[in-house]
Structures are given as C-alpha cells and as structure tokens.
Structure 1
Amino acid sequence: MNQILTVLAVLFTFPVAAQNPEKFSKEINEEGVALYHSEMTSWNGTDIFIENYKNRENIGGYFSYLDAGIPKCVFFSKNQKVIGTISFPANYNPKDAKIDLEERDFTQKETEYFTIRQNALKRIKNDTIFKVYKDTNLNIVPLIRNKVKKVYILTATSAGNTVIFGNDYLITFDNKDQVKNVEKLHNSMIVQKIHDEKTGHTISGMHSHVIENWQMITPTDICTLMLYQKFTEWKSYMTISKKFVSIWNSNNNLVIMKTENFKGMAENILKNKKDKPEPEKKDK
C-alpha cells in the first residue's frame, strides 16, 4: 500500500491532461458528480421530510432532480400526487432547506423523472439480475442529462464503518420511456471498511473491474466516494482493470490511463525512489 501511495502522490503532481488521454474521463466524472448531487439531495431531503410529514402510510416514494439549478427532493403519494418538496441551497445545509408540504400535481419535468423511476422499479421487481444483500437496500436514482434518460441503481447499507461499491446497475430508456437496456456495472458487491481493526483508519482504497464494458471507474464509484468523503477522509481511490487504471482524488480530479502505461510509470517511479540516495545526516 505504501508503494501505491507513493505512485499516487507523484502522479497527481503532473498535469492531468498528460496522464489522461481517455476522452471518457470528463463524462464519467460529470456523471458521477450529477449522481452525487441527486443522492445528497435525497439523503438530506428524506430526513427533513420524514421529520415534518406525519402520514407515513401515504408515502409512495421520492426522487431528486435539479430545477433551474436548485436541488429538489420530491415525495409523492401512492395516488401519484406530490406531497412534499424539499429545496436546498448549493451547500445542502438542512438548516437552509425550504419545506413545502402542499399537495400538487407533478410538473412536466417531474413527470419525466417519475415515469422512468417507476418503470425502473417494475423492472427491478421482475428481473433476476438485481440482487439485494443482507443489511442493504437498492437506491433508485433517475438521471436526465443531455436529453438522455437513465436510472442508476446503487446499493446502500445500514451497517456502520463500511462503504459499499458494486452491486450497482444502469437502466437506459428509449424515447418512449420504456426500458431499452439493463446492465451490471460491477461483477459483485465490494465492502470496504473505513476503520480496520488491524491497521486503524484507512486512508485510501482500491478495487478491480472485470466487466468488459466497465473497465474504467464508474459514475457510481465517484458518487459513492463523494458521498462518504466526510466519513472516510480518503485522499485518493483507485480502480484497476486489464485495460485501464482510474485514479480519483478528494479534490475530484480523475486520472485514467491504460494499465500497461500505469505499470511502466509505477515501476519507473519506484525504481527512481529506490535509487535516489538518502540525504546525509549531519552530526549535531
């Protein structure tokens, strides 16, 4: 791990453009950030709504989206009416949130989010590709960007001291809001401890990608790293596959490079570090 951290430290001193020739890096990062904003809105919005709305049996579900740049978490009833809207400032401070519990119809934009969310939910209930593990649940995250409609499925955990990667899915839709494709983003569920009994508080982490279509870091990985950053305080994280190495840091810089190039660079960095003479110690 110390050798890996040395390589990471050196890599992030170089211009990102020099290490990231892959055209997909910007899009992956932006998609991950968009997912983060949606999930952060839902995290905080759910807490506020549950605290203020007493008729729990009337709740049918929720989703979050950006409305003219304002993060909103919308809760709807079982008869498909909006029963709560929690709006946030850019800092997501719950104290500054605006709470609207007036019942109303969906806006046109909200109808689009609601429709793909519900169609995704139907697919989840009827497709064996989706797995639910002990102490976890699946979060449905609808996302509409650049006129493309998607629903990401992330695994959340009720267990403490853990960060969950994997067991995540992507559902894409056609122009009639019908499911076009369903795919897994990771081959399995990866559980990483924030505090390890043997080594103490972890400072970084990594996992491997084996699915052919998802060799790079996924938007869900980036979303998870950003959501748990305040708990983990990880400075960097890496995903490795046979084709690519992806390196994310806490400033939300993302470097993606071919695995063969990364191995060569890592070997040179470690060799130079090993060959570099230690500074002479002066007698006091």
Structure 2
Amino acid sequence: MRNITALFFILFTILFHAQSLEKISKEVNDEGIALYRSEMASWYGTDIFKANYEKMENVGGYFSYIDESVPKCIFFSKENKVLATIAFPTNYNPNNAKIDLKERDFTPLEAEYFMIRQNTLTRIKTDTIFKSYQNTSFNIVPIIKKNVKKVYVLTGPSVDNLIIFGNDYLITFNNKNEIKNVEKLHNSMIAHNIHDEKVGKTISGIHSHVIENWQTITPTDICTLMLYQKFTNWEHYITISKKYTSIWNSNNNLTVMKTEDYKKMVENISKNKSEKVDFKEKIE
C-alpha cells in the first residue's frame, strides 16, 4: 500500500511540474506575441505615416495598441491630439492598411496608453537603470490587458545586419498611471550579427539568463525573434539559466524545461552520436 501511495505521489508531482511549465510557456509566449503585434504595427505604421503626412514638425510621438483584435498605430501632435490612425489586417500587409488623417482627441483607452508612454519617457531620462549604447535606440511598447498596465522598453539597432537581445526593461503601473516598479529583464546587451562572413549561415542562437526573476526566455526575446525571423531564418533559439532552458522555434512554439533535464537530454543524444557536448553559452 505504501508503494502504491508513493507511486501516486511521484506521478502527481511529475504531472504538476509538467502543467506548471506548460503554463509558464503559454504565458510568456502570449506576452511575446502581444509585444510583436504592437511592434509590427509601429514598424509599418511609421513608414505609412511618413509617406502620407507632410508636416512632420507637428509630430509629438506615436504608440501602437490592439483595439478589439485590430492592431493600430497612433501618431499624435505636440499638442497631444491624434494626427493619424493606421489600422492593420492580421497579416500586416501595408497595402491593406487603413489610414485616417483626421485630427481628433484620444479615446479613453488611447489616453491611458498615452499617459503610461509619457511617464515611461520621463523615467528613462531620470533613472540610471536605463543604459544607452551606440547605434541603438529605445522602443517603448505599452500594454494594457485586463486592467494591468505595463510598458516594455526594448533596445533596437540603428544599423543594419544586427539583432539585439537584452538591455530591456519592464515598467509596471498602478490604476492612476503612476509607476510602481522598474526592472531589468537581462543583465546586459547581447548582439548577434544576422549575416557573418566568418561564421557563414547560422540556423540558431543562444544566450544565458542570470537575473533571478527572469530565468525563462522573456517576452522581449520572443518579440525580437519574431520581428527578425524573416531576416535571420533561424529555425530555433535557446535561452538557458540555472533553473530553466527555453527552446523557441520558427513556428512560434515555445518549450520550457528544467535546465538539468535539458542537459541530460543533450548528453544522452551526444552519447548516442559519440559526440562531445559543450555547454558554453553566450553569457549576458
């Protein structure tokens, strides 16, 4: 009887951990996709706006958000009036985007996005946690979902042939749009060349995570991988930490497992192929 009870306990523990990792995978992946959808609207929205609007000196800024499943990019004036609204289909085909250049006030939801964006800008200028690097700029991505308000700050390259992970931050807000917390998602910045003449074509990449609160792949990592996938053609990407190893593939499937299990799996594969395995990662 004791053996049966112990067996049931072991099976329950295995099932619990499997469900927990699956839940983590889904939450991180969904958040990464939300960031990607916002950034795609901003990428294409900027090009469309510049091609259709002449008085650029009037522009105060922009942000993107999802309005009932429709990605929208909003450009506003220095007087905080909406100058343009660009709505995209799900495939983000610029030819099918709808642009409205009628000046108007923010909707109540847009006003919330605007406030957390502006508060983020102010914080970036005054908080030394934010680090700037040559040939890069910050991309501000506000997210409001189920009354939870947050802003991700990503670092994007301003030169070609470069993909950047890290030097990213998460800012959370209260219901009054006041900043509650600012945290780093990576310990530093990791730069990959998209095309490297010495290395040749690459099909994947890897970096490590050391921050205790961010042991899995981050939503910003997933967003970056999705944005640049058409340039890198990477089949998969791995992040590894003391606790978790995350494996993302180009079909946008994410698997999170314990790092000890991942290393055992790779070692078993290596033994079968009689190859040596080296766990040296690109340390952040």
Contact 1:236 1:248 in 2 (8 A): yes
Confirm or deny that 1:95 pairs with 2:91. no
Alpha-carbon contact 1:149-1:172 (below 8 Å) kept: yes
Give the counterpart letter for 2:35 in structure 1.
L
Q: Residue type of the partner of 2:112? A: E
Matched-pair identity in %: 69
1:103-252 matched pairs, under 5 angstroms: 103-252=103-252
For residues 10-56 of structure 1, give each alpha carbon's deviation from its aligned partner in whole angstroms, at most 9, with x where no partner exists.
Answer: xxxxxxx9698353111000000000000000000000001111111
Counterpart Cα distance in 2 of 1:107 and 1:21 = 38
Taking only aligned residues, the RMSD between alpha carbons, in angstroms, comes to 1.5
Equivalents in 2 of 1:235, 1:18: separation in Å? 24
Following the alignment from structure 1 to structure 2, what is the Cα–Cα distance between the partners of residues 135 and 245?
A: 30
SS at match of 2:91: coil
1:62 pairs with 2:62: yes
Tell me which residue corresponds to 1:82. Answer: 82
Secondary structure of 1:265 counterpart? helix
Kindly provide the amino acid, as one letter, of the partner of residue 67 in structure 2. D
SS at match of 1:202: coil
TM-score normalised according to structure 2 size: 0.88
Q: Give the structure-1-normalised TM-score.
A: 0.88
Distance in 1 of aligned mates of 2:19 and 2:174: 35
| Cα shift at 1:158 | 1.4
CA contact under 8 A between 1:83 and 1:102: conserved in structure 2?
yes
* Distance (Å, rounded) in 1 between the aligned partners of 2:44 and 2:234: 22
Residue type of the alignment partner of 1:151: V
Contact persistence 1:20–1:255 (CA under 8 A): no
Task: Give, in whole Å, the separation in 2 of the partners of 1:128 and 1:52.
Answer: 38
- Residue-by-residue CA offset, 1:140-183 (whole Å, 9 max, x unaligned): 10001222100000001111111000000000001111000000
The equivalent residue for 1:52 is 52
Task: Specify every segment of 5 or more residues in structure 1 that has no aligned partner in the other structure, as ranges.
Answer: 1-16, 276-284
Distance 1:134 1:233 in 2: 26
Contact kept, 8 Å, 1:19 with 1:256, in 2: the verdict is: no
Cα drift, residue 194 of structure 1: 1.1
Question: Mind listing any 5+ residue stretches in structure 2 that lack a counterpart?
Answer: 1-16, 276-284
Counterpart AA for 1:254: L
State the match for 1:34 in structure 2.
34
Paired letter, 1:163: I
User: How far, CA to CA, are the matches of 1:187 and 1:62 in structure 2?
Assistant: 28
Taking the aligned partners of 1:85 and 1:167, their CA distance within structure 2 comes to 30
**Higher RCO structure, 1 or 2 (CA under 8 Å, sep 6+):** 1
8 Å Cα contact 1:20-1:256 kept in structure 2: no
State the partner residue of 2:273. Answer: 273
CA contact (8 A) 1:63 1:75 kept: yes
Structure-1 separation of matches of 2:20 and 2:222: 16
Q: How many residues align?
A: 259
